[in-house]
Structures are given as structure tokens and as C-alpha cells.
Amino acid sequence: MLSRRAFLGVVTPSRELPVRPPWALAEAEFLTTCQRCSDCVDACPTGLLVRGDGAYPEADFTPGRAPDACTFCGECRQACPTTALSATATWQLKAVFSSDCLAERQVVCRTCGELCEARAIHFPPRLGGVARPQLDASACTGCGACLADCPTRAIRVLSPNSIAYRGVA
Ligand code: SF4
Ligand code: SF4
Ligand code: SF4
């Protein structure tokens, strides 16, 4: 579980790297390759990509913004006039659950599990308590579908390299 402190972003935001579109090159290379044209933002059919700091594109998984998830359709990659989105693999984001999850209040909720097409969220039975969501990290694609309808905004998708993720790993 992600601690409330970490979940609420008690980290220095400026030290966290933004989430770039899937297939983005490593950050330093991305920044020198991307032309900040926003073609990828305009091409994204789900509205996940936004124009971020410095006009560089970012994936906005802000809880409550409720964007549609990334479908890995590749439209952003195809629209990019540079090699900025030419990595062979997509991002390595993983879902994390905070202590705001209803299961922590002994309330049954399986919304996130129902939204996960990758079936990466399981609810192992828990003696004397409500089952908590448990992530199969190897199955999670970081698409973000699970967070959109979470009633308590208890889910984030984070890079395992991020400070917030390392705080709970
Ligand atoms: S792969 Fe598709 S849905 Fe995902 S960020 Fe790119 S354009 Fe948007
Ligand atoms: S389409 Fe490519 S060059 Fe243009 S903002 Fe997106 S990543 Fe950068
Ligand atoms: S981010 Fe996507 S794949 Fe990962 S748990 Fe959420 S819905 Fe499933």
C-alpha cells in the first residue's frame, strides 16, 4: 500500500520526472529530440496526453481528472515527426493503491479490478477483513484504466523509478 504521505505527493514535485507518452526515449534524450509540436497530444484519442511544462507532452494521470486510459493505440507515435517516441518498449508504469482504498475501511469494492482488462488486480481472501486489491506487477501495463472510477481516488500509476514509488516499494 502507498502511504498517505507518499500518495498525497509529499515529495518534491520538481524532482519527479513527468510521464512522457508511451515509447518515449529516456528523458534526457527525449528532451533534446522532441520539438514540442504537440502533434502527439492532438493525436491522442483518449485525451490522456497534455501539453506540460515547457510545452513538452505528458501523460496526465491525475486522480479525478478521469482521462480514458492509454489504449496503446500508437497514434501518438505515428503522429510524431521526430524519433522522440521511438523506444522499443512502452512505459514501465505500475498501479499503486493508497490507504484510502475502501478495503481499508472494511468496505467491499472491486471497481478497479473490474476495469482492468489485463486482469492485473486480484483480491485474495483476507481472514477477518475485506479483501484488498493486490497488483500482479508483471501483468500491469500502466494503462491507467483502473484509476478513473475509483471512488476514493486511491490509485495512481507511477514509474518504479519515481521517488513516490520507491517510497512504497
Ligand atoms: S498510445 Fe494512443 S491512447 Fe496511448 S498516449 Fe498514445 S495516442 Fe494516447
Ligand atoms: S509529436 Fe513528437 S516531437 Fe511533437 S511534441 Fe510529441 S513527442 Fe514531441
Ligand atoms: S494500470 Fe491498467 S493494467 Fe495496471 S492495474 Fe490498472 S487497469 Fe490494470
At 126-151, the pLDDT tens digits run: 988 899 999 999 999 999 999 988 99
Mean pLDDT over the full length of the chain: 87
| CA count, 13 A, side-chain hemisphere, 165 | 15
Same domain, yes or no: 109 and 123: yes
Residues 81 and 139 in one domain: no
Pocket probe mutation, ligand 3, options 116, 123, 158, max atoms within 8 Å of Cβ: 116
Between 48 and 68, name the one with better pLDDT: 48
Q: Looking at the structure, tell me whether residues 104 and 168 fall in a common domain.
A: yes
**3 found inside a domain:** no
104 and 79 part of one domain: no
**pLDDT band per the 50, 70, 90 thresholds, residue 168:** low
- Say whether pLDDT at 11 is over 60: no
Amino acid at 158: L
Q: Is the pLDDT of residue 79 over 50?
A: yes
168 domain-assigned: yes
> Does residue 154 sit in the same domain as residue 103?
yes
* Range in 12-26, 76-90, 117-131 the model is least confident about: 12-26
Same domain, 85 and 31: yes
Q: Is residue 10 part of a domain?
A: no
- Output b/e per residue, 85-94; b: 16+ Cβ within 10 A: bebeebbebb
Could you tell me which residue, 132 or 2, shows the higher pLDDT?
132
8 Å CB contact between 7 and 147? no
67, 81: one domain:
yes
With CA atoms as reference, report the closest residue to 34 among 45, 47, 48, 18. 18
Domain residues for the domain of 108 are 92-169
In a domain, 36, yes or no: yes
Ligand 3 atom with least separation from CA of 143: 2
User: Helix, strand, or coil here: 165?
Assistant: helix
Contacts of 146 by beta carbon, 8 Å cutoff, 6+ apart: 95, 112, 113, 115, 116, 121, 155
Nearest atom, ligand 1, residue 69 CA: 3
Ligand 1 atom 3 nearest Cα: 70
Look at residue 21 and tell me whether its pLDDT is greater than 90. yes
Return the ligand 3 atom nearest residue 119 CA. Answer: 8
- Are 102 and 164 members of one domain? yes
Which region, left, alpha or beta, applies to residue 159 given φ > 0 means left and ψ of -120 to 50 means alpha? Answer: beta
